[in-house]
Each structure stands twice: as C-alpha cells, then as structure tokens.
Amino acid sequence: MRETVHVPLGARAYDVVIGPGLMEEAGTLIAPLLPRPRVAVVTEKRVAALHLAALENGLGAAGIDCVALELPPGESTKSWTHLAQVTEWLLDQKIERRDVVVALGGGVIGDLVGFACAILRRGVRFVQVPTSLLAQVDSSVGGKTGINTAQGKNLAGAFHQPSLVLADTDVLASLGPRDFLAGYGEVMKYGLLGDATFFAWLEENAQAMAAGDVALRVAAVKRSVEMKADIVTRDETEQGDRALLNLGHTFCHALEAATGYSDRLLHGEGVAIGCGLAFELSARLGLCSQEDPSRVRAHIKAMGMKADLADIPGDLPDAAGVLDLMGQDKKVVAGTLNFILARGIGEAFVTSDVPRDAVMAVLEDALTAR
Ligand code: GLY
C-alpha cells in the first residue's frame, strides 16, 4: 500500500513516501541521505508523547543515533524566540552542513524547523515527518517555511525544500475527528481547484476514509500530494499558478482573523467554508453553474464539517468588517485582492478582477443566514 510521489525540482527534487508503517522504517528510508549515522529531531511535546519513540526505534533499527528537542505545542511556537532556540540547539548539537534534521509534527513544526534549516549554516537539509493530515497533504510539501511575527502569520520565512517527506498514514489514527476533518478541508480543496474526478471520488469515499479506511487514506493523501507537487513544480516561488492552492484562503484568513485564530475556527474548517464562498462568488459572477456552490456545501455538510458562517460560534464582524480583514491578507498585491475563482468544479483560476460589491453581497447574504 506504499506510494511514492516524486517532486521533480531539479537539484532540489525529492520524494514524498506515503503509507502505513513508515515510522518503523524511517531509518532505512533516511539512511541514504546521511553522511554519518546521526540525526537531530525537532518535535513538540504532544506529538513526542505519541510518536517520538516509534521514530527513534525506526532510526535505531538502521543504526542511526538521534538527539531530540521537544518544543511547546501550538501556533505560538512559530516565533522568533523558538526559531532562535531551534537554530542554537542544532548548533549546540554540532549539526554540520551535510547533516540532516528531522521535523516531526504538524504544520507548525514543519514550518519552523524548515526555516531554521534554511538559515542554519546557510542551509542544511531536512526531512519532514508530518503527523497531521493538513501537514501531510499541504504544508510538508512544497518548501514554504516560516514563522509568524507581530505583524501577521507567515511573514518571515524562506523557500527551502525538504530532502524527503515521510507521510505515515498510521499516525492519522491518533488525530481527533475535528483535527482530521480540518485537514480534510485541504484534501477537498485539491479536487475543487483542479480535479473534478477526484472531487467526485471524495463525494463517494471520503466518509469511509474519515472513518478510518487505510487504503482510502493512502489514496487521498497520494492524489493531494500529486496535485501539490504538480503545481509547485510549475511555480515553486508563487509567481502565478501556485496561488491556486489558496482556493478558499482569502475568505478563510479573514474568518480566522475575525475569530482571533482560536479554536472557534480551525484553519482547515475556514478553508472548507472559504471554498464554499469562493464558489458562491464564482456562481454570482456567472463563471460557474448555480449548482456548483450547493454541491460544494452539501459535501462539506455530509462530512459533518462547518459549512456556513452560521456554523462558526460567537459573533462575527459585519460584511464590511470581514472585507477589511480580507484586505489585510498578504496576498494583496498593490492594494488589489487576488482571488481564486472557479469556472466549475476542478477549474479554478487566479484573478484580481473581482468587483468589491460582489464580494460584499456574498458576505452580507452569508452573514444574514446566521
Ligand atoms: N499552502 C500553500 C502553498 O504551499 O503554496
């Protein structure tokens, strides 16, 4: 049941290995990268309690020694303070230019450790071992690394591709249902942005996948990673097509800001709601059929996820307030909001040509339905 997706980025090419049981084999899989049998692992405490021993055993089975740093869990770890801590710890551990660092965790750890590796000795290699569904299908692949600053999320960072990604689908069993489904928001996004057949497959299979079917999980992660690899290969540094990966994200980032980046709305939940709104906007602009937004929302609901603004607990700003928050998104170019719209399911495109009134109307109606 093991799958490998190659990311063909020339000198920065690498494999994403997907399947059950990869922790046990981590040593064998990582060994070909190592100049000496030693790695440094950076993780966070919650993930360490669940998976660090398995990874250490897998490395040990191939004769690889490891030292490990456990950071606090949570988004606030993506900070200058922890970037300095990780970088200096790696130096203290005498990690040399040709050594390899392993990032074990979700998106926070992957982004932080990737950034530390980008700057450590002007760049050391790292292996991503993503432990959330979101990290397996999105953040561990494609080389975006970074931290949050006082001014906003992901505002300091670097493109630094991993040398290998090990997406062990067994670890997904340790996720709570809400976190799994939040990650699913990003899986669904791939079907919506570029593969109608995959979206139809998800409509058929995603409930069984969420319930635990391993073969379906491997297939869904593989197709998501293939699509991400394809887009990243076309546009590594987001000059164009890579922005397609932000389908639903302009609405999502505004809603995350409006809810204070709290557990009122997880990122993947915001992506799912945002995809529904992006299709609603596309339908109103006459770009796609009226049925498409209903189909998107029906699938989100069928998965038991938040589908509408009404599903977000607590108060939200009015439409003008949400629109203002959209304007603060970092994808604003010269004051114009870049949107990802769709001509149909699987047919997303990037545009900056979106009338403000149309966005206001979609938001007003969505907020009135609360
Ligand atoms: N998560 C969006 C990207 O990697 O470009």
The pLDDT tens digits of the residues spanning 23-82 come to 999 999 999 999 999 999 999 999 999 999 999 999 999 999 999 999 999 999 999 999
332 pLDDT tier (thresholds 50, 70, 90): low
Going by C-beta distance under 8 Å and a sequence separation of 6 or more, which residues neighbour residue 238?
A: none
* Domains detected in the chain: 3-174 (3.40.50.1970), 177-368 (1.20.1090.10)
Query: Taking a C-beta distance cutoff of 8 angstroms, is the pair 320, 360 a contact?
Result: yes
Active site residue 122: yes
pTM for the whole structure: 0.96
* pLDDT of 151 higher than 90: no
Task: Exactly one of 25, 203, 238, 364 is catalytic; name it.
Answer: 238
Ligand 1 binding site (Cβ under 6 Å of any ligand atom): 138, 142, 144, 242, 245
Ligand 1 atom closest to 138 (CA): 1
Q: Whose CA is nearest to atom 3 of ligand 1?
A: 245
Q: Please give the distance, rounded to the nearest whole angstrom, from the Cα atom of residue 255 to the centre of ligand 1.
A: 18
CA distance 98 to 299: 46
Most informative mutation of 227, 246, 329 for ligand 1 (most atoms within 8 A of CB): 246
Ligand 1: which atom is nearest the Cα of residue 245? Answer: 2
Pairing outcome for strands 3-7 and 14-19: antiparallel
CB count, 10 Å around CB of 253? 24
Residue 2 CB neighbours (<10 A)? 13
**Distance between CA atoms of 7 and 271, rounded to whole angstroms?**
24
Residue type, 33: L
The torsion of the CA quartet 83, 85, 88, 90, rounded to 10 degrees, works out to -80
